[in-house]
């Protein structure tokens, strides 16, 4: 029986792009339910019934709601083990997760829309807001580049795409958006290797429903 998969997402949301990449890598088909963050559709009552946090993405698989992009990616990896998103060895798995968590836990929360709105409300002009976002991105990416420095490419942790790459590429989209540097170690080379794969290129923000290019 084929799965019925619906992704609640916003075209420009990097957390949504993570899940699109994961779905595509697993060879799964899905429908998109667009939620326009610029019009606060993430806080509409019908969406809060899906995701009480009022953020995208949410993934609905055969009527079961999943939230939090990393939890969703790991769920997909457990249910659809090929190709694996994590290496075999516990040590390497921990390293991949550490890299992914730099992005998901330490960079992204500082530069999501609601936090940037608050930074602005507290008195920063647009340049100040972008500097705030860029600072968080640059610190995280610089550290991430060190974590992968000892690994051969073309991807973050070697010849296979891992969760680290799934999170890195959408974060670099945001780096460009906020004028952040990302010329750290192998970061840009990893992005180029990922974007050569259809699962990354075909799920890019500009190719999504509702995208304003």
Ligand X SMILES: N[C@@H](CCC(=O)N[C@@H](CS)C(=O)NCC(=O)O)C(=O)O
SS3 148: helix
* Residue 14 touches ligand X, criterion: CB under 6 A: yes
Among 32, 69, 203, 208, binds ligand X (CB under 6 A): 69
Cβ nearer to ligand X, comparing 15 with 141: 15
Cβ proximity of 75 and 5 under 8 Å:
no
Choose, by CB under 6 A, the member of 8, 11, 15, 59 that binds ligand X.
15
Q: How far is the CB of 2 from ligand X (least distance, A)?
A: 25
Give the pairing of strands 64-67 and 58-61: antiparallel
Is residue 37 a contact residue for ligand X (CB under 6 A)? yes
CA distance 77 to 84: 6
178-210 burial code (b ≥16 CB/10 A, e <16): bebebebbbbeebbebbeebebbeebbbeebee
| Interacting residue with ligand X among 7, 8, 13, 21 (CB under 6 A) | 13
Least CB distance to ligand X at residue 33 (A)? 13
Smallest separation (angstroms) from ligand X to the CB of 40: 8
Of 43 and 181, the one with the shorter C-beta distance to ligand X is: 43
- The answer to whether 175 contacts ligand X (rule: CB under 6 A) is no
User: In this complex, which beta carbon is closest to ligand X, that of residue 37 or of residue 133?
Assistant: 37
| Residue 103: partners with Cβ closer than 8 Å, 6 or more residues away | 140, 144, 167, 168, 171
Residues 113, 98: Cα–Cα separation, whole Å: 24
Given the rule CB under 6 A, which residues bind ligand X?
13-15, 37, 42, 55-57, 68-70, 104, 112-114
């Amino acid at each position: 029986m084929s799965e019925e998969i619906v992704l609640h997402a916003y075209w420009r949301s990097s957390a949504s792009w993570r899940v699109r990449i994961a779905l595509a890598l697993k060879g799964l088909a899905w429908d998109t339910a667009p939620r326009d963050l610029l019009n606060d559709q993430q806080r509409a009552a019908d969406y809060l019934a899906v995701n009480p946090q009022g953020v995208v993405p949410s993934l609905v698989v055969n009527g079961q709601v999943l939230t939090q992009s990393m939890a969703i990616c790991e769920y997909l990896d457990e249910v659809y083990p090929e190709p694996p998103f994590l290496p075999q060895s516990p040590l390497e798995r921990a390293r991949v997760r550490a890299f992914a968590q730099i992005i998901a836990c330490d960079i992204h929360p500082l530069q999501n829309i609601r936090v940037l709105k608050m930074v602005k409300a507290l008195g920063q002009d647009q340049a100040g807001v972008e500097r705030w976002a860029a600072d968080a991105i640059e610190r995280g990416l610089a550290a991430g580049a060190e974590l992968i420095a000892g690994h051969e490419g073309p991807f973050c942790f070697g010849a296979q795409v891992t969760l680290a790459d799934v999170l890195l590429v959408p974060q670099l989209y945001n780096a460009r958006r906020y004028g952040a540097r990302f010329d750290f170690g192998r970061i840009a080379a990893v992005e180029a290797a990922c974007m050569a794969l259809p699962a990354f290129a075909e799920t890019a923000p500009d190719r999504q429903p509702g995208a304003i290019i």
